[in-house]
Amino acid sequence: MKPTITLLSLFLFFSTLSGYGQRNATTAPKIVVTGVGTVSAFPNAAKITLALKFTKPTLKEAITENKAAAKQVLAVVKGFVTDTTAIKVSLIATDKVMRWNAQLKKDVFVGFESGQKIIFTLNDLNAMQDFTEKIMKTRIYEIERVSYFHTQGEDFVKQAQEFAVADAIETTKRLAKASGTTLGSIAFIQTSSSPSDAEDATEDSYNLHTYNKGLEVSGGVGSSGQLLNFTAKVAVHTLLE
């Protein structure tokens, strides 16, 4: 029984020391600062969503019209991309269209609707005007969405994280000097931001309709020149001696 008691005592002794070390690190005096870093850049690319929509007396006519228009639109889009496999084309969606008739006081059948979306990335915003002019000559229903972004967004987030660390360290030193304390080593660094957050840094324009080749613009298709901000926050805990 004695060896068992000795081993148990040693286990409890080292467990106590380990627990003390953890509590000591947690309760040790420190300065806690959150640094913020931001990198700003104008967008240099855009993800564009084009919508097709046709209403015809028969479903076959609607689908046939849709397919012909899609072929025309894709011919234009392929002239503005380097990788045609990156063009996303949805399946054709169909529906029956009803419209309220005030005289009859009921919904009246109008025809069958066929719709489809084509999404691609324009990697050169200098080509936006040329693209818009050419796509407006096709039978698209609308430029549904233009989402502007920067192709180096992930690198900008990484830079912002580094700026945030530098900001936190500078603030920590300034606070230590003001309080007359001596800094020790950094005990903890944490960030809630990730390079993938660059996907959230976009500027969007919506709904440029092309009814009968007349324009009805909501938001427009041109970038307003708005800067994209890539921001990161970093928490830094620095021990005090």
* Helix residue ranges per DSSP H, the chain: 2-27, 59-77, 128-135, 153-179
pTM greater than 0.85 (yes/no): no
pLDDT in tens, 134-189: 999 999 999 999 999 999 999 999 999 999 999 999 999 999 999 999 999 999 99
Task: Note down the domain range covering 118.
Answer: 45-149
| The predicted structure's pLDDT at residue 6 | 40
Structural domain contains residue 21: no
Are both 75 and 65 inside the same structural domain? yes
| The predicted structure's pLDDT at residue 4 | 41
31: CB partners within 8 A, 6+ apart: 172, 175, 176, 181, 183, 237, 238, 240
CATH, residue 163: 3.30.110.170
Q: Among 106, 124, 149, which residue terminates a domain?
A: 149
User: Quick one: residue 225, left, alpha or beta (phi over 0 = left, psi -120 to 50 = alpha)?
Assistant: left
pLDDT in tens, 213-224: 454 544 445 555
Are both 156 and 176 inside the same structural domain? yes
Tokens representing 133 are 């002019």
List the chain residues with pLDDT less than 50: 1-23, 212-213, 215, 217-220
- The DSSP secondary-structure symbol of 226 reads P
| The predicted structure's pLDDT at residue 201 | 77
Are both 137 and 161 inside the same structural domain? no
Residue with the two structure tokens 């040693």: 10
Q: How far is CA 20 from the centre of its chain?
A: 45
| The predicted structure's pLDDT at residue 206 | 64
Overall number of domains in the chain: 2
